[in-house]
Amino acid sequence: MSAIALTQILLNGAALGAAYALIALGFVIVLNAAGAVNFAQGELVMAGGFASVALAPFIGETTALPGLFLLPLVMGLMGLAGAGFAWIAYFPLHKRHQAAVFVSTIAAGLVLQHLANAVFGAAPRAGPPLVAGDPMTIGSLSISPQQLAVMACAAVLISGTGLFLGRTQTGRHMRAVAQDPEMAAAIGIRPKRMITLSFALAIALAGAAGLLLSNQFFVSPNDGGLFMLKAYIAVTIGGWGRLDGAVIGALLIGIFETFVAALTSYLVAEALLYALLLVMLVFRPSGLLPERARARV
């Protein structure tokens, strides 16, 4: 394999992994804040993709940055949906057995899947690109403005999330609730408010990932399960409960899938990815970055 071909694969894989990182990041934020797995995370990514498809006609073709104009709107709508999701699928059941929340999020995901199928149909749909334009060619290397925009946009969102959680008072309160909700409540922090914000942030990131993925890879109502699996694998590889580990794991998945698919096929890449997950669970179940006790940052 030539250096040009390898560079092309790395670019493609990094763009895919950057979108996966947003999904995994939201997955971990909810996991840490609520202590529960949101099994509807994949369907919420799909919902973000279809939101971008539905809103794209209002932007039209008059701008070279259709996806960038839509991104704040999609994230805002999905953030509001995330706050509602917390009060519908989590809070009514969070004091019961943990399985109750699992089932409720699965049910919510199925509702979203069937609703998308009823409204948009089963056929894959393409969302708007972040940046419209033809690929740039450097020798034999083809660089898509969309790929660069996806990586840049994901980097900004990931960095912004890290700064928000680490440097702002609200972010510190959210982390305090994730660490110890009883102690956080004792010092005046409102756990329900912070958990609601965590769901809103996580699902806004899922919506952003849906928009980023919808142009190149299209979106269909049945994509949710696949996105959920990618987030779960990324978190397992990176380290359960670690935000930085989730991002690293997602980037590794994107590069791995793209590299193996280029050499063989996408089906082989998927099979090998699941085999890699099994190996990881056997030999390093704590992931590449093991979670420090109660230190979920």
Residue 260 lies in a domain: no
Burial track 189-210 (b if 16+ CB lie within 10 A, e otherwise)? bebeebbbbbbbbbbbbbbbbb
Residue 61 pLDDT level (bands cut at 50, 70, 90): low
Residue 272 lies in a domain: no
Structural domain boundaries enclosing 89: 3-223
- Of the given ranges (49-53, 88-92, 110-114, 133-137), which has the lowest mean pLDDT? 133-137
pLDDT in tens, 236-247: 999 888 899 999
pLDDT of 207 over the 90 cut: yes
- Of the given ranges (59-63, 125-129, 149-153, 230-234), which has the lowest mean pLDDT? 59-63
User: Would you state the structure tokens that stand for residue 185, as one six-digit string?
Assistant: 């409540």
Q: Name the residue with higher pLDDT: 136 or 42.
A: 42
Domains held by the chain: number: 1
Query: In degrees to the nearest 10, what's the CA dihedral of 88, 92, 98, 101?
Result: -10
How far apart are alpha carbons 19 and 136 in whole angstroms? Answer: 21
Residue 168 lies in a domain: yes
pLDDT in tens, 240-274: 888 999 999 999 999 999 999 998 888 999 999 99
Closest CA to 21 of 125, 113, 150: 150
Q: Stretch 111-121: mean pLDDT, rounded?
A: 95
- So what's the pLDDT on residue 221? 95
Query: What Å distances lie between residue 12 and 4, 65, 186, 217, CA to CA?
Result: 12, 20, 48, 12
How far apart are alpha carbons 254 and 112 in whole angstroms? Answer: 26
- So what's the pLDDT on residue 62? 55
Residue 150 lies in a domain: yes
pLDDT in tens, 153-204: 999 999 999 999 989 999 999 989 988 888 999 999 999 999 999 999 999 9
How far apart are alpha carbons 177 and 57 in whole angstroms? Answer: 41
Residue 124 lies in a domain: yes
pLDDT of 64 over the 70 cut: no
Residue 254 lies in a domain: no
- Residue 31's Cβ-count burial label (10 Å; 0-12, 13-18, 19+) is buried
Residue 123 pLDDT level (bands cut at 50, 70, 90): very high
Query: In degrees to the nearest 10, what's the CA dihedral of 118, 123, 124, 125?
Result: -70
pLDDT in tens, 219-235: 999 999 999 999 999 99
pLDDT of 139 over the 80 cut: no
Residue 40 lies in a domain: yes
Residue 216 lies in a domain: yes
pLDDT of 59 over the 80 cut: no
- So what's the pLDDT on residue 247? 94
